[in-house]
Amino acid sequence: MTKPIKLTNRAAYQRFVDRYDTFLLDCDGVIWSSNTVIPGVLQVITYFRKKGKQLLFVTNNSTKSRAGNLKKLRSFGLEASEEEIFSSSYTAAYYLRHIIDFPKEKKVYIIGESGIEDELNMMGIKNTKADADNGPIQNWDFADITPDPEIGAVLCGFDTFINYRKIAKAFLYLRTDPDCLFLLTNDDTTFPAIGTVFPGAGSLSSPLIIALNRKPDRVMGKPNKPMLDCIVDKYRLNVERTCMIGDRLDTDIQFGINGGIATLLVLTGISTEKEILAEGAPILPDYYVDSLSNFAEIIELEN
Amino acid sequence: MTKPIKLTNRAAYQRFVDRYDTFLLDCDGVIWSSNTVIPGVLQVITYFRKKGKQLLFVTNNSTKSRAGNLKKLRSFGLEASEEEIFSSSYTAAYYLRHIIDFPKEKKVYIIGESGIEDELNMMGIKNTKADADNGPIQNWDFADITPDPEIGAVLCGFDTFINYRKIAKAFLYLRTDPDCLFLLTNDDTTFPAIGTVFPGAGSLSSPLIIALNRKPDRVMGKPNKPMLDCIVDKYRLNVERTCMIGDRLDTDIQFGINGGIATLLVLTGISTEKEILAEGAPILPDYYVDSLSNFAEIIELEN
C-alpha cells in the first residue's frame, strides 16, 4: 500500500483540486459535526462549484428520500439540488431499476421508513407500504403471515417502526422463495444521535440474517460497491478523475477503494491521523487533510 | 466418543428405566408432534410416575410462565404440577435469585412476554413491565431513551411485541453500564409454528449483539448450562442418575452433555438415526430409541 499524502499547503491543495472533476462528499464529519457546520467548509464547496467541479453528496441514511436529505443540507446553509444527492434509499431504487432490471410485475417488501418507499415509488417500482397491516402480532396470531408470490425482493433499512410482524413476513418471503432478493440499504451497526449512538440498519437486519442463516445478496450503502456502481452508471463518471472525501476509514475510504476511485480523509470526524500512521493500518486513503476548510487557502490566494 | 446404544427390546428398556431416578423431558417432538400427542407416550409417563421416577418437563419457551406451560401440558392430556416444569423464563428468575444473588435494589429490563415478567415477580425480582411506554418511537424522538442506573440486567427472550424503543433502551443500558448483565432466555434462532418456522429469541436478540459487538453474558435455555445448573441446584439432583430425553441433538442432547448427565434421543422429532450414524457426527447421545412410546412394552409385560 502507498503511504497516504498529507495535504498541508496551498500548492498541494491546488494540485489536488486540479486533479479531479468530481468529488463525492460524505456529510457528517466532513461538512458538519455535532449538528454544526464546520467553519470555512461552505466557502470551499462554493469554490469547488465555481471551478466547475461536479459534487455529489453521498449518505447511508435510508430514512429520507433525496428530497428529505436535501432539506437537511439546506438546514446547514448548503445550497444543492436533488440531483446531487445519493442516499442509500435512492441507490436501492436505482439499483433495482437500472442495474438489475427488477421485474415490473414484482413487489419489494420494505422494512424501513418513508425515504425508501418514496424513492421506489418515484422509480415506478411496486412495493408494500408500511401500513397499519404491519402492526405488532396480537394474540399469537400468525395466520396472516403467508408466502406472497408477488414479492420479488426484501429491502431492509433503518426503521423505528420495526416489529415482529415485519421481521416474520420478510423471513417467510425469503425462506419460501429462494429467488427472492435479500437487500439492505446499508450495514452500519450503529448511527449517531443525541450525543450517543443507537442500533442502526446493520443491526436491525440481523434477525433475518440469523434466522435464515443467509447473508444479504447486496448491501447498497458505503462501504459496499452498489452505491458507487449506481453513481458511476448514472453520471457516466470518469473514475480516474473522481475522488471520495470522507471522515471514516472503514466506510468512506473503504468505499472509494472498493470502487477504484481516489480517496481523501478529513480529520474533522471519526478517524484519526494516528490510525493512518499506525503500523499495518488496514485501510489507507490516497490523501488526507486536517479539514475540508483548509482548501479555503486557495480561495484567499485567488481573491 | 462412545457409540450410542439403540434401545430395541424390553430388556434394554427395563435396564434403562432402572438405571435413572430422574428424567428431564423435552416436550415438542418427544411427547407431542405437530400438536398431536404421540400415541402411547402418556401411558409411559404414567408408568414412570408409578415407578417413582422424578419427572421434569424442560422447555425453552419463555413466553409462558410455569403456570402457562402447565396449561399447555394439560391440553395434551398430560397431568403434571407446576413444580415439575422448568421453562427458560423460570430459569432466568431462578438464576438471578439463587445462582448469582442479583441485587435486590436493581431492576431487570425485559424484552419478552408475560412469562418472564410473571416468573420474575413471583421470585420478587424488580423488573420493567412491557407497558405502553414501550410503544414504537414516534417522530424520531429519542429523548426519553436515557441511561437508568437502576437497571442491573437486560433479559431478552421471544417477544411478538418487540420494537425499536425496546431494542434502543436495552442497547443504551448495556452500553452505558459495563456491569449491566446481558442475559438471554434462549438462543433458538427459529421456533416451529403453524406448520413452518419463525424467527426465535436467538434471532431477536441479535440486534443487541451486533450493535454492542458483545456476546450475552449467559443464555439460560438448552443447550446452555444455566438451565441444568438451576435444575440441579433446586432439586439437589444426583447427576449420575439423571437422564435428558429429547428429539434434537443440537439442543436437548447437547444440553445433557454440557451438564454431564446421560442422554436419550427419541426419533419422533427433528434429529434422525442417519445423523447419529454418520461418520464424525459431532453430537451423540448415550442412548436412542424410535419413540418414547416404545417403553410401553415394559408395561404390557408387567400387566
CA angle A191, B187, A211 (to 5 degrees): 65
Residue B136: list chain A partners with CB under 8 A: 160-161, 163
Residue A179 catalytic?
A: no
Whether residues A115 and A171 fall in one domain: yes
Residue B132 shares a structural domain with residue B181 = yes
Mean pLDDT of B144-158: 94
Q: Measuring CA to CA, which residue among B179, B180, B182, B198 is closest to residue B190? A: B198
Bond from prior residue into B226 cis (ω within 30 degrees of 0): no
User: Is the residue at B97 inside a domain?
Assistant: no
B159 and B239 in a single domain? The answer is no
Residue B99 belongs to a domain: no
Angstrom distance (rounded) from CA B256 to CA B260: 6
Mean pLDDT across B120-147: 82
Q: Tell me, yes or no, whether A109 and A193 share the same domain.
A: yes
User: How high is the pLDDT of residue A298?
Assistant: 92
Residues B275 and B189 in one domain: no
Please give the pLDDT value at position B131: 57
- Predicted confidence pLDDT, tens digits, chain A (303 residues): 689 999 999 999 999 999 999 999 999 999 998 789 999 999 999 999 999 999 999 999 999 999 999 999 999 999 999 999 999 999 999 999 999 999 999 999 999 999 999 999 999 999 997 554 567 787 778 888 899 999 999 999 999 999 999 999 999 999 999 999 999 999 999 998 888 899 999 999 999 999 999 999 999 999 999 999 999 999 999 999 999 999 999 999 999 999 999 999 999 999 999 999 999 999 999 999 999 999 999 996 665
Order the strands of the A22-25 sheet from edge to edge: A5-6, A287-289, A262-266, A242-246, A22-25, A54-59, A85-87
Domain limits for position B238? 5-60+223-302
Mean of per-residue pLDDT scores for chain B: 94
Last residue of a domain, one of A163, A194, A219: A219
pLDDT for res B54: 98
Chain segment B178-218, per-residue pLDDT in tens: 999 999 999 999 998 888 899 999 999 999 999 999 999 99
- A156, A227: one domain: no
State how many domains chain A has.
2
A113 within some domain: yes
- Annotate B71-108 with DSSP letters as a single string: HHHHHTT----GGGEEEHHHHHHHIIIIIS---TT-EE
In a domain, A122, yes or no: yes
Q: Does one domain contain both B129 and B178?
A: yes
Q: Is residue B248 part of a domain?
A: yes
Answer whether A174 touches B (CB < 8 Å).
Answer: no
Choosing from A18, A26, A188, A252, the catalytic residue is A26
Q: Does B195 map to a domain?
A: yes
The CA-atom distances, in angstroms, between B86 and each of A109, A118, B72, B122, B229 are 39, 49, 13, 14, 12
Which residues of B are less than 8 Å from A72 in CB distance?
none
Under DSSP, the state recorded for A132 is G
Closest to A81 in 3D by CA, of A91, A71, A89: A71
**How far off is chain B from A168, nearest CA to CA, in Å?**
6
Asked whether the predicted pLDDT for residue B276 surpasses 70, the reply is yes
Residue ranges for the known binding site of B are: 26, 28, 222, 247
| A70 torsion bin: left (phi>0), alpha (psi -120 to 50), beta (else) | alpha
Q: Is A21 annotated as a binding residue?
A: no
Query: Does B216 touch chain A if contact means CB atoms closer than 8 Å?
Result: no
B136-157 mean pLDDT: 89
| Beta partners for residue A6, in sequence order | A288
Euclidean distance between CA atoms A203 and A134, whole angstroms: 20
- B251, B222 in Cβ contact below 8 A? yes
**CATH no. for residue B160?**
3.40.50.1000
| Residue B167 shares a structural domain with residue B211 | yes
Q: Do B233 and B177 sit in the same domain of this protein?
A: no
Domain's final residue, options A181, A196, A219 = A219
Within an 8 Å CB–CB cutoff, is residue A71 touching chain B?
no
Mean pLDDT in residue range B244-250: 96
Question: How confident is residue B301, by pLDDT bands cut at 50, 70 and 90?
Answer: low
Q: Are B250 and B228 in contact (CB under 8 A)?
A: no
CA distance B204 to A137: 14
Residues A232 and A296 in one domain: yes
Same domain for B123 and B207? yes
> Residue A30 is placed in which grid cell?
466532513
Is B118 tagged catalytic?
Answer: no
ipTM: 0.93
Contacts of B145 (CB under 8 A, 6+ apart): A198, B137, B165, B168, B169, B172
> A114, A159, A161, A164: best mutation site toward chain B, by most B Cβ within 10 Å?
A164
Residue A153 has phi, psi (to 5 degrees) of -155, 145
Contact A171 B136 (CB under 8 A): no
Whole-angstrom distance, CA of residue B203 vs CA of residue A210: 6
By C-alpha distance, which of A83, A12, A24, A74 is closest to A48? A24
With CB atoms and an 8 Å threshold, state whether A160 touches B164: yes
pLDDT of residue A208: 98
* Domain finish residue from B219, B248, B280: B219
**Out of B171, B196, B210, closest to residue A198 by CB:** B171
- Report chain B residues whose CB lies below 8 A from the CB of A138: 160
Q: Which helix (H) or strand (E) holds A256?
A: helix A254-259
Q: A196, A197, A213: best mutation site toward chain B, by most B Cβ within 10 Å?
A: A196
Cβ of B163 within 8 Å of Cβ of A167? The answer is no
Give CA–CA dist B239/B232, Å, rounded. Answer: 8
Residue A135 lies in a domain: yes
Q: Are B53 and B20 in contact (CB under 8 A)?
A: yes
Residues A243, A156 within the same domain: no
Give the strand order in the sheet containing B5-6: B5-6, B287-289, B262-266, B242-246, B22-25, B54-59, B85-87
**Interface touch B164/A162, C-beta < 8 Å:** yes
Q: Is residue B288 part of a domain?
A: yes
Contact call for residues B190 and B203 (beta carbons, < 8 A): yes
**Is the pLDDT at B302 greater than 80, yes or no?**
no
A143 CB within 8 Å of a chain B CB: yes
